């Protein structure tokens, strides 16, 4: 069916300042019309009264584990999980095996994702060869092969000279550098440095490890005029640092992960290794500072840092791998902030769709204007559900939100005019 007619949906599209009940007609992969009483004889009709439609989400930070760690996730399971969460564009991180430090690996991902066809997967290239932090990759060749940005995510790039060169080179090839800001000489442990790490007597990761690298990257971007994107901001001082540099016109953008907006270090006592993530869950005052920063634009967007791991990799806290899955829980988490009146629905869409699309410089997502590519999600903000064996589409289940009540469920995800996920 090439035509889809969505009836009486609450359309939220910040790109055209729209929040109103409308009909949407999709034809040949594009938004054909938005109106009040649209009629189309041959269309597949979706009665959407009480549901919300918005541009589908764009995630600047996912680990799809393919190639090399397919027992945790592969492109297909990751993409299925993504569309179930309302995402149709993913930037996948290069810490695969082999890493995305050659055009061949980037091309493998792009081709395989195109064959699967559920959504768009764009690779981020590694900053350094083998992600070893010693020698930059060939940005030109990787960009030509389809890499949209460069990062050694999972490992920070701590060598300032190399970072400076990377910012310059990325600018020359028309892209930007992303950094996982945690100085690994300071962040040697497992959870936030604070009363819980003292109580449990385990090695920790202080906020200062993040703050020094956020400051360093902002300073380099300030002096060079290049664009640096800070990945998963989590500390209140880092928020202040980014705010300071943004006020001075520095080309710095940053993302926050949904889990840092609703969970704090206390979660470790409840969920143990399932709450272990880098950067770690921090204090309540950090969480509040992050939410405040969403509102004043200091934080540009939401990114999930979807990081699947097998059950046996999530055993004892001190041995467990860091990270949690997040593609299917991002929307319910963000809707919780909407219900608590901390952000508006329109702001949520901006943070999950419009802004990340703009950061990547993507056409064809982040907007549902007439004529735009039909990439959208339809969800019920009130529907309650659980992430469990039945609903989870990832190969992994490492999240503290497993089996906890969630509110807000995707009913349809439409990618280039095709229904790629449906749950009604
Ligand atoms: Zn990271």
* Residue 305 annotated in active site: yes
Residue 1, pLDDT score: 58
Residue 2, pLDDT score: 86
Q: Enumerate domains of the chain plus CATH numbers.
A: 3-53+371-422 (2.30.40.10), 57-360 (3.20.20.140)
**Cα–Cα dist 360/357, whole Å:** 5
Of 305, 363, 380, 423, the active-site residue reads 305
Q: In angstroms, what CA-CA distances link 86 with 56, 82, 89, 118, 415?
A: 6, 6, 10, 11, 10
Give the number of other CB atoms < 10 A from CB of residue 40: 16
What is the Å distance from ligand 1's center to 153 Cα?
Answer: 5
pLDDT digit string (tens) for 82-117?
A: 999 999 999 999 999 999 999 999 999 999 999 999
DSSP state at residue 313: G
Collect the ranges in the chain with pLDDT lower than 70: 1
What is the Å distance from ligand 1's center to 91 Cα?
Answer: 13
What is the Å distance from ligand 1's center to 346 Cα?
Answer: 27
pLDDT digit string (tens) for 330-351?
A: 999 999 999 999 999 999 999 9
Residue 229, pLDDT score: 98
Look up residue 185 and give its two tokens.
């000489």
């Amino acid at each position: 069916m090439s035509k889809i007619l969505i009836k009486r949906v609450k359309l939220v599209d910040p790109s055209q300042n729209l929040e109103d009940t409308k009909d949407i007609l999709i034809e040949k992969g594009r938004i054909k019309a938005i109106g009040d009483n649209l009629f189309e004889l041959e269309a597949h009709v979706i009665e959407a009264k009480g549901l919300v439609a918005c541009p589908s989400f764009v995630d600047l930070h996912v680990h799809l584990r393919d190639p090399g760690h397919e027992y945790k996730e592969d492109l297909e399971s990751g993409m299925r999980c993504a569309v179930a969460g309302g995402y149709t564009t993913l930037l996948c991180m290069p810490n695969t095996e082999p890493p995305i430090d050659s055009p061949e690996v980037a091309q493998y991902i792009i081709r395989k994702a195109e064959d699967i066809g559920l959504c768009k997967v764009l690779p981020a290239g590694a900053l350094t060869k083998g992600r070893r932090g010693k020698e930059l990759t060939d940005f030109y060749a990787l960009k030509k092969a389809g890499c949209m940005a460069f990062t050694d995510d999972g490992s920070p790039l701590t060598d300032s000279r190399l970072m400076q060169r990377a910012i310059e080179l990325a600018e020359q090839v028309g892209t930007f550098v992303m950094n996982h800001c945690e100085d690994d000489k300071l962040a040697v442990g497992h959870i936030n440095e604070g009363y819980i790490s003292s109580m449990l007597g385990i090695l920790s990761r202080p906020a200062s490890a993040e703050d020094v690298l956020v400051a360093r990257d902002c300073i380099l971007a300030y002096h060079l005029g290049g664009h640096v994107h800070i990945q998963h901001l989590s500390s209140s001082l880092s928020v202040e640092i980014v705010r300071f540099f943004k006020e001075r016109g520095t080309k710095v953008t940053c993302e926050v992960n949904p889990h840092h907006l609703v969970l704090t270090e206390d979660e470790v006592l409840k969920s143990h290794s399932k709450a272990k993530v880098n950067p770690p869950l921090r204090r309540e005052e950090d969480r509040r500072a992050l939410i405040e920063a969403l509102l004043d634009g200091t934080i540009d967007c939401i990114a999930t840092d979807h990081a699947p791991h097998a059950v046996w990799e999530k055993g004892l806290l001190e041995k467990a791998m860091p990270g949690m899955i997040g593609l299917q829980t991002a929307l319910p988490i963000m809707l919780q902030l909407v219900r608590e009146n901390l952000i508006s629905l329109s702001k949520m869409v901006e943070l999950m769709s419009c802004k990340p699309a703009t950061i990547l410089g993507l056409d064809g997502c982040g907007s549902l204007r007439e004529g735009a590519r039909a990439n959208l999600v339809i969800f019920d903000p009130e529907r309650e559900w659980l992430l469990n064996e039945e609903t989870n589409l990832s190969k992994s289940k490492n999240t503290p939100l497993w089996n906890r009540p969630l509110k807000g469920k995707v009913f349809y995800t439409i990618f280039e005019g095709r229904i790629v996920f449906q749950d009604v």
